[in-house]
């Protein structure tokens, strides 16, 4: 992450880190800064959003390597399930 060069940028980074650390903002603060960059920085930190090499990661877009491992595991599981279903169907049709 690029180092912020302005005081406001450093403040936003601090707010982001506070959100990432799990700090809960008071209701009056959230209402006062609703829909502002300050609130968005805190919310992004709390939700775990970050940028790396131009790609945004977060809850809806986990790491590609992690996602590839899950996809491979899911493909293997679904393949086994489909083979099991086919075997059951073949047994049922052979009895009739």
pLDDT for residue 61: 59
CA dihedral 48, 68, 56, 31 (to 10 degrees): -30
pLDDT at residue 95 is higher than 60: yes
What's the predicted TM-score (pTM) here?
0.55
State the pLDDT at residue 7: 92
5-47 per-position pLDDT tens digit: 899 999 999 999 998 888 888 889 888 999 899 999 998 888 8
* SS3 state at 28: helix
């Amino acid at each position: 992450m690029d180092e912020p060069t302005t005081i406001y940028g450093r403040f936003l980074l601090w707010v982001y880190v506070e959100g990432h650390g799990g700090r809960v903002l008071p209701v009056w603060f959230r209402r006062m800064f609703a829909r502002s960059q300050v609130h968005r920085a805190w919310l992004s930190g709390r939700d775990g959003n970050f940028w790396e090499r131009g790609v945004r990661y977060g809850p809806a877009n986990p790491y590609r390597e992690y996602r590839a491992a899950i996809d491979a595991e899911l493909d293997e599981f679904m393949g086994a399930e489909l083979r099991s279903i086919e075997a059951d169907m073949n047994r049922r049709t052979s009895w009739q």
